[in-house]
Amino acid sequence: MGCRAWFAVILAGWGCLPCLCTPAAAGPKSHVGRATTADQRVSMDHIDHADWDRLLHSYADQQGNVDYRRWKTTSTDVTALDQYLDTLSAAEPALRASRQAILAYWINAYNAVTVRGILMQYPTTSIRNHTARVFGYNIWHDLLLHVGSNTVSLDHIEHAVLRKLEEPRIHFAIVCASKGCPRLLNEAYSAERLEEQLQSNARVFFATRANFVYDVRQGMMQLSAILDWFGEDFGATHEAQLRAIAQLLPDEAAQQAARDGSVRVSYLDYDWTLNEQVDAEP
């Protein structure tokens, strides 16, 4: 993610670096939210995430899988999601807000825009079906949310906003509609509970075998590819990155090995399958 060389993407076989490069030609744009005037805009401290919270309780399960089919066919709740995106559009990033409110706002915005983008394309089996590499629509670049006086893409939210806030646990909170992602928390992130929510979802992430495996006898840790793509957000060196995640690991042996840096590391394959509830498949 970000803008690395095309060579890196080619080496990855197109299969594990989700949006490392901006497409050579922009695809058709799709907009969500609404344009606002200056007098309609408020601080992120005053953005209400209650509608998103209700929708997540209704359509996301405890494992973070989404009933896209039922959501797509429930027109009132598609409208409710659009109305929530309209609410997000009223935020003015230039106005003072707490760090917690800013983080909660942008995490919720990323996740809500992603869900809306999937609903636009549903039925589908993967977000990667909608990320044109050279020509055509790329959901990460061409689905734009009105925010204040600008429009922002998913790519912009992730790399130009959230990563710049230097809270690496955002990588266990923002969800690109794939099983390899962290679970989509079935409640909205809030300023009041942000620390608890980030810590909890990060722990669940590493407690999931698809994201973390530690072989004590071999002295080997297998980590999610997210830690490969974004390792620099956790520390400047391999050892620093392991220390940063140590407290999040599921048992004391793994935590100690990470603190000591006494393990070899490899990265797991990333699962781009849609994070859809099994009994809701089309």
**Would you give per-residue pLDDT tens digits along the chain (282 residues)?**
433 322 233 233 333 344 444 433 468 999 999 999 999 999 999 999 999 999 999 999 999 999 999 999 999 999 999 999 999 999 999 999 999 999 999 999 999 999 999 999 999 999 999 999 888 999 999 999 999 999 999 999 999 999 999 999 999 999 999 999 999 999 999 999 999 999 999 999 999 999 999 999 999 999 999 999 999 999 999 999 999 999 999 999 999 999 999 899 999 999 999 999 987 444
Q: Which of 205, 231, 257 is the last residue of a domain?
A: 205
Token code pair at residue 279: 């009994």
Cβ(100)–Cβ(191) below 8 Å: yes
Q: Which of 205, 230, 258 is the last residue of a domain?
A: 205
Q: Beta-strand (E) ranges in 14-156?
A: 30-32, 143-147, 150-153
Token code pair at residue 203: 């722990």
Residues 193 and 138 in one domain: yes
Residue among 276, 268, 159, 273 at smallest CA distance from 214: 268
3-state secondary structure of 198: helix
Residues 217 and 170 in one domain: no
pLDDT score recorded for residue 26: 65
Q: Which element (helix H / strand E) includes 244?
A: helix 238-246
Residues 50 and 159 in one domain: yes
- Could you list the residue range(s) of the whole structural domain that residue 147 is in? 28-205
Token code pair at residue 51: 């509608």
Cβ(142)–Cβ(31) below 8 Å: no
Residues 135 and 252 in one domain: no
Alpha-helical regions (H) of the chain: 6-11, 50-59, 68-73, 75-89, 99-121, 139-142, 154-155, 194-206, 225-229, 238-246, 252-260
Residue among 140, 133, 177, 132 at smallest CA distance from 157: 140
Q: Which of 205, 237, 254 is the last residue of a domain?
A: 205
pLDDT score recorded for residue 17: 43
Residues 84 and 198 in one domain: yes
pLDDT score recorded for residue 179: 98
pTM of the model: 0.91
Residue 19 lies inside a defined structural domain of this protein: no
Residues 181 and 55 in one domain: yes
Residue 21 lies inside a defined structural domain of this protein: no
Residue 42 lies inside a defined structural domain of this protein: yes
